[in-house]
Amino acid sequence: MRGTYKNGQETPPTATTISVVNPATEEALATINATPSEAVDEIITASWKTFHSGVWSRKDPSDRFAVLSRASTLLRGRINDFVALETVQTGRPIREMRTQLARVPEWLDYFASLARVHEGRVTPFKGAVTNTLTRIPLGVVVLITPYNHPLLIAMKKIAAALAAGNVVIVKPSELAPLSVLKLGALFKEAGLPDGVLQIVSGYGRETGKYLCEHPKISKIDLTGGIATYRAIAPVAAMNMIPITAELGGKAPVCIFPSTDVETAVKAALFAGFIASGQTCVTGSRILVHKDIYDSFRSLLEKRVRALRVGDPTDEKTQIGSVISAAAIERCEAFVSRATAEGGTILCGGTRLTPTPEKKGYFFAPTVIETASTSDLANNEVFGPVLALIKCSDEDEIVRIANGTSYALGASVWSNDFTQAHSVADKIEAGIVWINGHHLNDPSSPWGGFKESGVGKENGVEAYESYTKVKSTVMNYGVKPVWFDDEVADARYG
């Protein structure tokens, strides 16, 4: 598979290639071509010309609606192919991928409809003046997407950007680019004009950096780490362009005594081990009230040990692989530091080889009892390693929940209506679920505070972030004020 989609077609092979590996088998899935810098420059220049041609940026919103709606229909019809591909390139269980990807076309449906119905407004301008506000697209926007939810996160960005009339350049993660690379042909079939969606491949430190530094781009939308954001933010500031950044997280799962223990344990398993913990809102801190802590800990340990780890393509598998050998090493390092700080491993803590071939990047689902001040309780693992913390009361749960530099997601589990809403109100996070976790919808703004990022995906907020506001001021009755002729004569005589 080629790694560049430019002006409506895949480009010829290049000298630099990237091997895409199945993390559950360590076997090569495909070899793609890295997009060289000179080709990236050509793509940006071509995209800039395409935007200013108006072929998409000035297209009627009803026409954008039609194209995105057709793309949604096409994607729904091929979703099983994408499920199979995402399973082998990410190592996530096929049962997870089937559930997640079935919803991805909803983002196209939602933003297509938003393009069709979103309205400008008229401000209450003083006097006989009418001020209309219209939203116009930004220009060429760069989307940097990650490996953990390749198709979902790419579509969240692409759908909003295209609906608003922008020309889009996507760079998927080099670890899992294959499903995103298939989108170029799909959108072309849906009627998207050539050059409106471009896709490039390569490493973030090279291709991504070059994209983000180019003076002809008008916005960067990044899902990644804080280090990447800090690297590109100064350049974006110099070029006077906005950034939407969805970064890390350390989501607390706050469990109160009114929740029965069985439900609480299921909540922790779902929050913490979906995608082997490789999501930005992984419930990686389990904060449990002391009144149910002992029974919760006992049942949690039993249930974690019973989780089925193995081949992601097996329908019975509950936990698949992590993405790479580096991810294994990261998990091991967190476990080592946690025990050095006095933490107790309740289960897991080691690499696994659950398949007959004894290959693949598998790490045992891990729970470690630890203090709220530990490294594990405060920093993002991005793997199946959870911190279990005993809390004395509601105030301590809230204090610990708010005690990290992240503030993306959190969940509150309580059957006490007043307590649930009171705690949710006190928690600092962009997304707070009550009696749920990982819930997502194209209409629901998604993004965090503090080091978890800036700006929002999803919702009207995302659509508007891909636009700029233009005021048109029409005077229909205010008499122009001129210099008084006599005063002017006296002054300048």
Amino acid at site 72:
S
pLDDT at 491 over 80: no
pLDDT at 486 over 70: no
Q: Residue 483 has what pLDDT? A: 64
Distances (CA, A) of 447 to 191, 229, 457: 31, 14, 6
The sign of the dihedral angle between the CA atoms of 413, 419, 423, 425 is positive
CA distance 263 to 359: 34
Distances (CA, A) of 270 to 24, 167, 277, 412, 435: 21, 37, 10, 14, 12
Q: Residue 14 has what pLDDT? A: 76
- Structural domains of the chain, ranges and CATH numbers in brackets: 4-247+452-473 (3.40.605.10), 252-434 (3.40.309.10)
Q: Residue 10 has what pLDDT? A: 87
Question: What is the average per-residue pLDDT within 158-169?
Answer: 98
CA atoms within a 13 Å half-sphere pointing along the CA-CB vector of 161 = 28
Model confidence pLDDT, tens digit, residues 422-466:
999 999 999 999 999 999 999 999 999 999 999 999 999 999 999
pLDDT at 490 over 70: no
H or E segment and range at residue 246: strand 243-246
CA distance 470 to 45: 25
18, 201 contact by CB (below 8 A)? yes
* Angle at the Cα of 337 from the Cα atoms of 331 and 339, rounded to 5 degrees: 105
pLDDT at 161 over 80: yes
pLDDT at 219 over 90: yes
Reference 128, options 472, 473, 478; nearest CA is 478
Q: How confident is the model at residue 492 (pLDDT cuts 50, 70, 90)?
A: very low
Q: How confident is the model at residue 131 (pLDDT cuts 50, 70, 90)?
A: very high
pLDDT, mean over the chain: 95
Instruction: Say which residues have a Cβ less than 8 Å from residue 179's Cβ, sequence separation at least 6.
Output: 82, 85, 86, 89, 150, 151, 154
What pTM value is reported for the model?
0.95
CA distance 442 to 159: 10
Model confidence pLDDT, tens digit, residues 35-47:
999 999 999 999 9
**How would you class 285 by CB atoms within 10 Å of its CB: exposed for 0-12, middle for 13-18, buried for 19 or more?**
buried
pLDDT at 140 over 50: yes
- 109-146 per-residue burial string, b: 16 or more CB within 10 A, e: under 16: bbbbbbbbebeeeeeeeeeeeeeeeebebbbbbbbbbb
pLDDT at 159 over 80: yes
Catalytic residue ranges: 246
Q: Residue 445 has what pLDDT? A: 97
| Beta-bridge partner residues of 22 | 27
Q: Distance between alpha carbon 165 and the CA centroid of its chain, in Å?
A: 21
Q: How confident is the model at residue 487 (pLDDT cuts 50, 70, 90)?
A: low
Q: Helix 150-163 crosses helix 79-90 at what angle (to 10 degrees)?
A: 130
pLDDT at 493 over 70: no
Q: Are β-strands 197-199 and 167-171 bridged in parallel, bridged antiparallel, or unpaired?
A: parallel
Q: Residue 271 has what pLDDT? A: 98
pLDDT at 241 over 80: yes
Q: Residue 138 has what pLDDT? A: 98
Q: Distance between alpha carbon 156 and the CA centroid of its chain, in Å?
A: 8
Question: What is the average per-residue pLDDT within 27-54?
Answer: 95
The span from the first CA to the last CA of the chain, in angstroms, equals: 78
Amino acid at site 293:
Y
Q: Are β-strands 431-434 and 366-369 bridged in parallel, bridged antiparallel, or unpaired?
A: unpaired
- 477-492 per-residue burial string, b: 16 or more CB within 10 A, e: under 16: eeeeeeeeeeeeeeee
